[in-house]
Structure 1
Amino acid sequence: MGRRYLRTIAAVLLGGALSWQIVVTGLAGLAERSANPRLLVVMGTATHPDAGALLAQALLAAGAAAKAADVAQAVVLAAPINDRAMRVLGLATESLGNRPAGVRIMRQAAELGWRDTPTQLWALRDAALRDDAIPVIQRADALARRNRSTDITRAVFLAAVNEPRLRAALADSLALQPVWRPAFFTDVHERLPATSTEGMEALFREMRARRLSIAPTEWLNYIDRLIDLHDYVRARNLWAKMFAVPATRIAAAPYDSDFALIAARPDDKPASQFEWTVDPNLAGAVTFAGGPNGTALSIPSDLNSGTVIVSQLLILGPGVHTLTSRVGGNTGTPAAGWGIACLPSGKDLLRRLAHGSDDALLTLSFDIPNSGCAAQRLTLTKRDQLPARTLSVEAVRIH
């Protein structure tokens, strides 16, 4: 299996035609058309090694491999640590049919050119083809630290979670707190395939075995990905385990039914979808204050109709359920109403209202079907009925 993932990485590099990115410049045409050998000589002297390397690169891009090799060799003789010239010499030698010599030169260039993007891409592909896992991650790390070839490095890191040697090397790189670590976990949230969830959890185990700290946002990125993949029960179980949520609290629906936990939670603390969440745009508008019966959620009177005030992901079983709210405030038409939708379809469930068609806040019932509703999204939404009353929600229960 390991070789399969390394070959997949090599295929990504080859398929993207990004093993080395050489741009044809006007200099290539000049060099190719020139009949004056002095141009090639002067470009390869110790006085102009960088210019000579650029000329050799342009010649190779123009298809003049023999001339490129001559110029690159002259540069290397004059400046042995010029990684670009060494790389062009290797590629040109390979292009001329001497692959073993070209590979040897390229591997030497790779040791010189940790900041040369085309060389790093070649070395990354070479390591993948040789089934050498550690250099694959090392080269990808070198590229990612410089924000180069991000499509390739992102693909390499995500593929690495599925192969034990690559995964171990990835954990070692993450231990160094590289600048690309946040972007990696963002990719986990947005792009991790369903077939890679076991590998991702194995990576977390690798990190914990190394005593690496795992930020709450990193756990939540993965938990949110499980939700996106409709693996709701697994996501909730992992959240409960990693955030030490008591089983008694999970058994109650909704979680934190009296809003005590969200009231105590700092605005900048990340939260799971299985907790109450508030749109960041409503920070300061939606508040949680103490009242005669404990903490209460205040419903602002100046929000636009349809604004979601709070929401929470639930996992309720099939059958009829009843939601009841304890509210405080003036009597009149409620300023907000509860809604519940099935996931993954997002289809709203039909609500039966106990206190008349205008009250979706105090009491309502809904029927969860046997299929197509593995999880549910509970939302409290601002309503546009007038006159609306200013009130607060002290608690909500679902039975």
Structure 2
Amino acid sequence: MTAGSRRGRSFVTIALAILMSLLLAAQGLGQWANNRGLGIMLEALGSRDADFLAKSAQRSFELRNYAAAEAVARRAVEGAPLHQKALRIVGMAQVAQGNPQGHETVRAAGLLGWQDVPTQAWLMIDALQRGQPQEAIFRADALARRAGVRPELLPLIVAFADDSTTLPTLLDRLELAPTWRQDFFRMASEATATQTNTLDMLLRRLQRGDAPPTREEVTPVVRRLVVLGNYDRADALATDLLGKPRSGSGNLVDDGGFALADVYRRPNNERTPFDWEIGSTRGATATVGASAGQDDGALYVDSNGAQPAVLATKVVRVPPGSYRFAFTVVSPDANALERFNWSATCLPGTQPLLEETSAALVAGQAKRVELPLTVPASGCEAQTLRLHAKSTSPRETVGARFDDIEIRPLP
């Protein structure tokens, strides 16, 4: 068996696995199934309305009464020769009954337009069976434009991307920025590790073209790479396509001053794990000054102590070694660090890297706090920084301002 024939069989296997799901989802066929059988056919044959006839034929087809489906659909075509749905049902019923002419009939229905979703699904499979994956990509594009990108399509599109003979055609379609492109990349949240790597490759190839990927398309893939533990690839994608600052020999916490106002105006689901994710809960709030129109970019937090909360989170890449973690804090409450504390943990895993501090402050005066941080030689490919609000008693609102977060190597 040649490589080309193996690829073709692989495409067909994937596509056949999703065809019935696409048909059911696109047309709601299941709701039409009942036990009327012959009654559907007799009722339909007494009508001259092509739409009603086509719908009745579809009911018979769903009941696997293929002879009745063909008969009713043929009556619809006699009255409306250009009725795409009816002609498609004639062909599908013929194929179901072992008549190879049905393939040509469905292809004829496909010439009448791109609007009927089951027609495009059928023709996509037909193109793959005929060894025409490029044509199948056009059909998949039509499917996605009409019915949206469903999870069932993800493995097929990934298979097209992984094949050097079909990748150029797929990129041509994606560079047209079809309405389904953003939803396609959002499916990264359900992708396997291999599929996510392919999505990464597609984003990079699109970056070279006339319709580069948007932040909304790149972010889900970066997030998924982090979830899958592929921190190197996630970091590289965020750096190359989203402008994430490259880690240098100085401060290893980019945007430790919360100064990127445009980032903080976005909802959290449009930020990568390498951006600060700012959270508020009942009884505890966090606001970045830059996004609130203030002159500085500091992080402002408050908590009434009723329940614990995570107010800020960020993934960083710190190589193994010894470091100094530092931050500046100011609060009207001298005991603010009994309410708020920073943590750093390894990824993967939850190994803590920082000791808590409850250093006393001078109310209203900024204090620079420094803590030792050691990253082990293995098992700590990335790290998560978090600012916590603790549950305390008495419960009274305490506020603080944090700024200039740093991780620097010890001299």
TM class by shorter chain equals: 0.7 to 0.9
State the partner residue of 2:260.
262
**Aligned residue among 325, 329, 336 for 1:323:** 325
Q: Which runs of 4+ in 1 moved over 6 A?
A: 280-284, 354-358
Query: Across the two proteins, how many residue pairs are aligned to each other?
Result: 383
Q: Distance in 1 between matches of 2:404 and 2:382?
A: 22
- When residues 167 and 206 of structure 1 are mapped into structure 2, their CA distance, relative to the original with a 3 A threshold, is same
Q: Distance in 2 between matches of 1:389 and 1:40?
A: 73
> Does 1:182 pair with 2:189?
no
- Give the Å deviation of 1:139: 2.1
Alpha-carbon displacement from aligned partner over 1:282-323 (angstroms, at most 9, x marks no partner): 998423379xx9753333244754222222111222344332
State the partner residue of 2:354.
351
State the partner residue of 1:75.
76
**SS of match in other structure, 1:362:** strand
Q: Residues 330-369 of structure 1 correspond to what in structure 2 (within 5 A)?
A: 330=332, 331-334=334-337, 335-345=339-349, 347-349=350-352, 351-352=354-355, 362-369=369-376
- Give the Å deviation of 1:353: 5.1
State the partner residue of 1:394.
403
Q: Distance in 2 between matches of 1:95 and 1:14?
A: 15
The farther-off stretch of 314-323 and 371-380 is 314-323
CA RMSD of superposed structures (Å): 3.6
Q: Distance in 2 between matches of 1:199 and 1:312?
A: 26
Which amino acid letter does the alignment assign opposite residue 260 of structure 2? I
State the partner residue of 1:50.
51
- Give the Å deviation of 1:224: 1.6
- When residues 249 and 117 of structure 1 are mapped into structure 2, their CA distance, relative to the original with a 3 A threshold, is same
Alpha-carbon displacement from aligned partner over 1:202-242 (angstroms, at most 9, x marks no partner): 32344234311321222222222221221112221222222
What TM-score does the superposition give when structure 2 sets the normalisation length?
0.79
**SS of match in other structure, 1:300:** strand
Which amino acid letter does the alignment assign opposite residue 372 of structure 1? G
- When residues 240 and 152 of structure 1 are mapped into structure 2, their CA distance, relative to the original with a 3 A threshold, is closer
- When residues 79 and 264 of structure 1 are mapped into structure 2, their CA distance, relative to the original with a 3 A threshold, is closer
**Aligned residue among 353, 367, 387 for 1:380:** 387
State the partner residue of 2:364.
none
Contact 1:308 1:379 in 2 (8 A): yes
Which amino acid letter does the alignment assign opposite residue 48 of structure 1? D
Q: Distance in 2 between matches of 1:2 and 1:311?
A: 48
Q: Distance in 2 between matches of 1:48 and 1:230?
A: 58
Alpha-carbon displacement from aligned partner over 1:110-159 (angstroms, at most 9, x marks no partner): 22253223222211211222232233222222222232682433443343
Contact 1:325 1:393 in 2 (8 A): yes
Contact 2:325 2:371 in 1 (8 A): yes
The farther-off stretch of 78-87 and 169-178 is 169-178
Q: Distance in 1 between matches of 2:165 and 2:317?
A: 37
**SS of match in other structure, 2:162:** coil
State the partner residue of 1:135.
135
Alpha-carbon displacement from aligned partner over 1:24-44 (angstroms, at most 9, x marks no partner): 345533156x6xxxx67644x
> Does 1:123 pair with 2:132?
no
Contact 1:163 1:199 in 2 (8 A): no
Contact 2:274 2:315 in 1 (8 A): yes
Q: Distance in 1 between matches of 2:113 and 2:158?
A: 25
- When residues 85 and 328 of structure 1 are mapped into structure 2, their CA distance, relative to the original with a 3 A threshold, is closer
Q: Distance in 2 between matches of 1:149 and 1:298?
A: 40
Structure 2: any 5+ residue segments left out of the alignment? 362-367
**SS of match in other structure, 1:146:** helix
**SS of match in other structure, 1:213:** coil
State the partner residue of 1:95.
96
Contact 1:19 1:122 in 2 (8 A): no
- Give the Å deviation of 1:251: 5.0
Which amino acid letter does the alignment assign opposite residue 81 of structure 1? L
Q: Residues 281-292 of structure 1 correspond to what in structure 2 (within 5 A)?
A: 285-288=286-289
State the partner residue of 1:173.
173
- When residues 305 and 93 of structure 1 are mapped into structure 2, their CA distance, relative to the original with a 3 A threshold, is closer
Q: Distance in 2 between matches of 1:303 and 1:14?
A: 56
Which amino acid letter does the alignment assign opposite residue 195 of structure 1? T
Structure 1: any 5+ residue segments left out of the alignment? none
Q: Distance in 1 between matches of 2:148 and 2:10?
A: 20
State the partner residue of 1:24.
33
Contact 2:92 2:106 in 1 (8 A): yes
**SS of match in other structure, 2:405:** strand
Which amino acid letter does the alignment assign opposite residue 324 of structure 2? T
Alpha-carbon displacement from aligned partner over 1:52-85 (angstroms, at most 9, x marks no partner): 3334334444444344434433432332112222
**SS of match in other structure, 1:351:** coil
Q: Distance in 2 between matches of 1:63 and 1:73?
A: 17
- Give the Å deviation of 1:104: 1.0
Contact 2:340 2:390 in 1 (8 A): yes
Q: Distance in 2 between matches of 1:183 and 1:218?
A: 8
- When residues 65 and 249 of structure 1 are mapped into structure 2, their CA distance, relative to the original with a 3 A threshold, is same
Contact 1:24 1:62 in 2 (8 A): yes
Contact 1:308 1:380 in 2 (8 A): yes
